[in-house]
């Protein structure tokens, strides 16, 4: 699996639809300060479900929408699509190419799509779980993050190894199952109460 393409429209400094094609191997993005290099990696994290405006260097989520410049009016929505080569079927979908899209409108409405089909954020999170690509995963290391990883708490470091070893999805399913069990136990208690009230 590798990132083949990213398309940004109305996202941060990318007012017009901008498409970047990647090939296998190493790609370096170079450009003057403030030209939008980091906005590309922000775009990648955003599609993968980043929910923190602060970590995308904004005050709120609408700040990711192109806000206008001296020569251009602001736009009404921001959209980013990532296309991944999935010939090796690392992503559990029967497609050789997978495109994930996130779109947000000024009124706060937001949409997620997998291969143009609307989906939930959860579907995107689960799709990338244990692949190392998720928004919290180790494949995107932001400025200053290396130092943070080296000095961070051992539990946080363990999280990185858990993602790499592919057990995060099982931990997440275990958590969901435990929550369901708890809810069921609470429902049972409630039923017992009702039964004893009726007796
Ligand atoms: P450096 O090399 O200094 O790290 P960079 O190439 O990584 O810079 P970015 O930080 O990606 O640059 O881009 C910053 C630019 O993006 C700034 O000019 C900023 O005004 C612009 N920008 C960020 N958000 C928006 C937005 N919502 N609308 C318009 N422009 C934006």
> Domain map of the chain by residue range?
2-166, 170-199
Nearest atom (ligand 1) to Cα of 66:
28
Q: Which band of pLDDT confidence, cut at 50, 70 and 90, is reported for residue 104? A: very high
Residue 45 near ligand 1, beta carbon < 6 Å: no
- Other CB atoms within a 10 A radius of the CB of residue 41 amount to 16
Task: Give the Cα separation of 66 and 15 in Å (integer).
Answer: 6
Half-sphere exposure of 92 (CA within 13 A, CB side): 10
Task: Give the Cα separation of 59 and 63 in Å (integer).
Answer: 7
Are 139 and 132 contacting, i.e. CB atoms less than 8 angstroms apart? yes
Place of tokens 């590309």: 40
CATH of domain 2-166: 3.40.50.300
Q: What is the pLDDT of residue 74?
A: 95
Q: What is the pLDDT of residue 37?
A: 93
Computed from CA positions of residues 47, 139, 94, 8, in that sequence, does the dihedral angle turn out positive or negative?
positive
Task: Give the Cα separation of 179 and 184 in Å (integer).
Answer: 9
As a whole number of Å, the CA-based R_g of the chain is 21
Q: Is 105 exposed, middle or buried (0-12, 13-18, 19+ CB in 10 A)?
A: middle
Q: What is the pLDDT of residue 29?
A: 92
Q: What average pLDDT score do residues 98-102 get?
A: 97
Q: What average pLDDT score do residues 90-107 get?
A: 94
Ligand 1 pocket test: pick from 6, 18, 34, 80 the residue with the most ligand atoms within 8 Å of its Cβ.
Answer: 34
Mean pLDDT of the chain: 89
The pLDDT of residue 67 is above 90: yes
What does pTM read for this prediction?
A: 0.79
- Give the model confidence (pLDDT) of 107-165 as tens digits: 989 999 999 999 999 999 889 887 878 766 667 777 766 776 776 778 777 877 777 77
Are 57 and 43 contacting, i.e. CB atoms less than 8 angstroms apart? no
């Amino acid at each position: 699996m590798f990132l083949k393409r990213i398309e940004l429209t109305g996202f941060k400094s990318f007012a017009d639809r901008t498409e970047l094609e990647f090939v296998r191997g190493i790609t370096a993005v170079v450009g003057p300060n403030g030209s939008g290099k980091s906005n590309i990696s922000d775009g990648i994290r955003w599609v993968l479900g980043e929910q923190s405006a602060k970590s995308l260097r904004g005050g709120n989520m609408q700040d990711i929408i192109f806000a206008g410049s001296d020569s251009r009016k602001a736009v009404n929505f921001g959209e980013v699509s990532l296309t991944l080569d999935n010939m090796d079927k690392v992503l559990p979908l029967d497609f050789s190419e997978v495109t994930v899209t996130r779109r947000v409108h000024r009124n706060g409405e937001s949409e997620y799509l997998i291969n143009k089909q609307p989906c939930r954020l959860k579907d995107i999170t689960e799709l990338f779980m244990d692949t190392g690509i998720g928004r919290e995963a180790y494949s995107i290391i932001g400025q200053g993050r290396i130092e943070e990883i080296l000095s961070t708490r051992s539990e946080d470091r363990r999280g990185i190894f858990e993602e790499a070893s592919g057990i995060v999805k099982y931990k997440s399913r275990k958590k969901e199952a435990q929550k369901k069990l708890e809810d069921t136990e609470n429902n049972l208690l409630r039923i017992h109460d009702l039964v004893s009230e009726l007796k």
